[in-house]
Structure 1
Amino acid sequence: MKYLVGETPMEQGQRVIITFSDGKSVSAVYKDTYGYNHSFETETGSTVTLSNHFMRLKGIRVKPE
């Protein structure tokens, strides 16, 4: 099943690049969506949880790799 993450439909397990408003980028794997929160696992093993609303507010973009 695909979920709308930011403005991009994504499937679980898809590799993505998360770009923050300060220009820093992180490579991650999209894990799942719980309610309005999207969960990603980074290369270092940490978990990043983002909502569409927060991404819009802070200028964070998630794009497929």
Structure 2
Amino acid sequence: MQRPPEQLGLRVRVMFVSDRADPEQVTRQIMTSPEFAADMAGFDTDDIVDVQSVLLDPTSFSPIR
């Protein structure tokens, strides 16, 4: 059953990982973890329409630089 757009939830996860880490591997590890499962409890996974990983470059004033 498709929900109207106003009832769809948006979940965003921001992670800081080593620049030597493989983003796809990190994503797989997180999405199969018990902590991720707990975060998603009560959320109908059939409603997931897209999963994206986006690499962000820190700005010059970023505390992680």
Pick the TM interval, shorter chain.
under 0.3
Structure 1 or 2, whichever has the larger Rg, is 2
